Amino acid sequence: MNRLREAVSAILRVFREAAHAERVEATCLLTMLLVVLHSGGAWYFQAPTALLAGIGLLVPRLRVAPSYWLAFTCILAFGNFYNWFAVDNHKFLMTWWCLAIYCALQARQPDAELARQGRLLLGLCFLFAVVWKIMAPDFLDGRFFRHAFLTDARFQTVAVYAGGVDREALVQNRVSVGELRNPLGDAREAKLASGPRIDVVAFLATWWTILIEALLAGAFLLPGGLRIGWLRHGLLLLFILTTYAVAPVIPYGWTLLMMGFANCPSDWTRMRAAYVAAFMALQVYGTPFKPV
Amino acid sequence: MKNALNAAFPSAVLVAVALTQMVRAHQIDQSPWKGGGFGMFATVDAPGARILRCRVLTATGEEAADLPDRLARRAAITRVAPSEANLRILAEELLLLRAVRRKSPLRTEMGATRTEEARSAAIRFVGPEIPLPEGYEEVRVSAVNLELWRLDFDGGSLRIGATRERGVTVERRIP
């Protein structure tokens, strides 16, 4: 219990430090925490990233050294390409982000370059995400969300409270799908139980996702400088607070926040505070709604 | 020049990997969920909706076989990118292992579930270096048939159906 309390207070200390630090320092500090906590469970991620983070905590100027971030990039790139068939997309994005920090720290103006890199990676990530969704017929007709709400434990809260699906029915749906997935089983078809509002919720989720991801891709990829800065950050925070409340994929949200934070000027104190609050909210989302 | 390269490099890498994933998804049916192309949460065709079924040809006919843990990595790659070449590689790797069968499999009449019965009756593959497990007999396998099945979801009727997509049969080369 004491160790848990110490770990939580250490993380809070990092957040407090980050909220008051300069943009480059703060971004490096928070990214370091992101990599250590969420890069992967295998020893070849955990051991070297923990070692590097430990050195970075002891020698703060190392945290803004390009070679330090090249080392993180190499560790993540090796692990992710070795496991390309298993790792989720945000692990790739985390790797590109470490690479972006390495490149930005070598620029004449690291602060501006880091902001630009964050903007481009965010925009491209949302662009590809929305292109995939538009190309997938089962996303556009609402099948994806109907299927996810009825079978994926991560969406259970929405299925029960918004879709009106019975909790027992969801458990039965998952058992049926499990039987279909059994390569030695003879089940070939299953009928899912649903709820009275699941079609409406799936429809809203489908078009909300397409709309906000398209807007985010446009806002971050189109040039516009500080004039559309509020729009970019507002949309990103709205996306994170709505999306990850429904599907708490915390490391993904954290990675996106990281790049948005890097794009937020140091003197935009309220927006920076909103980012730090969003980091905290993500952790909260991840805890109580996790299916047991 | 170095500055310009640094400025473009991370975005270029992201685009290159994502486009490669898109091409592979269309050419070899790679799952949009994996490979760094940001296609997750866009389709029901996740790796979990793909099933690899294995059957082997023995002296007594065709029998169901369980994929061994030692080939879990190769099986996961095949599920995500189920090209004929990947199916064939997995089948060939299975033929290098030793096939064994329970002498007296569990039965539902003995209180086992249907899943336990099917698993217990299935052919298992073990490493050639591992001694024959107690209660098992060695089985001679002359061919391995691997099939990819996919779960499709009909949004109207809310039915999920498993359909066979493709398969390969690899025969043992040296009799």
What residues contact A73, with CB distance under 8 A and at least 6 apart? A95, A98, A99, A102
Q: Which two tokens stand for residue B60?
A: 């007594």
Residues A94-140 have pLDDT tens digits of 999 999 999 999 999 999 999 999 999 999 999 999 999 999 999 99
Please give the distance of CA B80 from its chain centroid, rounded to a whole number.
9
Confidence at residue A292, expressed as pLDDT on a 0 to 100 scale: 36
B69 sits in which H/E element: none
Q: Distance between CA atoms of B109 and B57, rounded to whole angstroms? A: 27
Q: Distance between CA atoms of B78 and B99, rounded to whole angstroms? A: 21
Residues of B in contact with A97 (CB under 8 A): 10
Q: Which two tokens stand for residue B110?
A: 């003995």
Contact A181 B122 (CB under 8 A): no
Please give the distance of CA B103 from its chain centroid, rounded to a whole number.
26
B138 sits in which H/E element: strand B136-139
Confidence at residue A163, expressed as pLDDT on a 0 to 100 scale: 95
A292 sits in which H/E element: none
Confidence at residue A1, expressed as pLDDT on a 0 to 100 scale: 63
Across the range B165-175, mean pLDDT stands at 86
Torsion (CA) B79, A93, A242, A4 in degrees, nearest 10: 90
B167 in Cβ contact with B80 (< 8 Å) = no
**Banded model confidence at residue A186, pLDDT cuts 50, 70, 90:** confident
The answer on pLDDT for A291 being more than 50 is no
Task: Select the residue of A107, A187, A192 nearest B158 (Cβ to Cβ).
Answer: A192
Across the range A23-43, mean pLDDT stands at 88
Interface of B with A in 131-170 (CB under 8 A): 151, 153, 155, 157-162
3-class state of residue B160 by DSSP:
strand
Q: Distance between CA atoms of B147 and B114, rounded to whole angstroms? A: 22
Q: Which two tokens stand for residue A240?
A: 């994170």
**Residue-averaged pLDDT of chain B:** 92
Across the range A162-185, mean pLDDT stands at 94
A150 in Cβ contact with B158 (< 8 Å) = yes
Looking only at the bridges linking them, the beta strands covering B136-139 and B143-154 are unpaired
Q: Which among B15, B34, B80, B160 is the top mutation candidate for probing chain A, defined by the most A β-carbons within 10 Å of its own β-carbon?
A: B160
Confidence at residue A266, expressed as pLDDT on a 0 to 100 scale: 81
Contact B11 A84 (CB under 8 A): no
Q: Report percent pLDDT > 70 for chain B.
A: 98
Whole-structure pTM value: 0.89
Residue ranges in chain A assigned as alpha helix (H): 2-20, 23-38, 43-58, 66-82, 89-105, 110-135, 137-140, 143-151, 156-161, 167-181, 198-221, 229-246, 250-262, 269-286
The answer on pLDDT for A6 being more than 80 is no
Q: Distance between CA atoms of B133 and B126, rounded to whole angstroms? A: 9
Residues B42-98 have pLDDT tens digits of 999 999 999 999 999 999 899 999 999 999 999 999 999 999 999 999 999 999 999
Spatial strand order in the sheet of B159-171: A189-191, B159-171, B143-154, B50-58, B61-65
Distance between A3 CA and the closest CA of chain B, angstroms: 35
Search chain A and give the residue with CA nearest B146: A183
**Residue-averaged pLDDT of chain A:** 89
Other C-beta atoms closer than 10 Å to the C-beta of A49 total 22
The amino acid sitting at A75 is I
B145 sits in which H/E element: strand B143-154
Of A15-24, A109-118, A177-186, which gets the smallest average pLDDT?
A15-24
The answer on pLDDT for A200 being more than 90 is yes
**Banded model confidence at residue A11, pLDDT cuts 50, 70, 90:** low
Q: Distance between CA atoms of A30 and A8, rounded to whole angstroms? A: 15
Across the range B153-172, mean pLDDT stands at 94
- Going A7 to A9 to A12 to A13, the CA torsion angle's sign is negative
Does the beta carbon of A39 lie under 8 angstroms from any beta carbon of chain B? Answer: no
Q: Choose between B173 and A133: higher pLDDT.
A: A133
Contact B43 A108 (CB under 8 A): no
Q: Distance between CA atoms of A67 and A33, rounded to whole angstroms? A: 17
Residues A272-285 have pLDDT tens digits of 889 988 888 887 77
Contact A99 B45 (CB under 8 A): no
Nearest to A81 by CA among A44, A32, A133: A44
Of B2-6, B34-38, B138-142, which gets the smallest average pLDDT?
B2-6
The answer on pLDDT for A227 being more than 90 is no
Contact B51 A125 (CB under 8 A): no
Confidence at residue A9, expressed as pLDDT on a 0 to 100 scale: 73
A100 in Cβ contact with B10 (< 8 Å) = yes
Q: Which two tokens stand for residue B40?
A: 């997750």
Length of chain A measured in residues = 292
The answer on pLDDT for A198 being more than 70 is yes
Confidence at residue B132, expressed as pLDDT on a 0 to 100 scale: 86
ipTM reported for the complex, 2 dp: 0.88
Does the beta carbon of A174 lie under 8 angstroms from any beta carbon of chain B? Answer: no
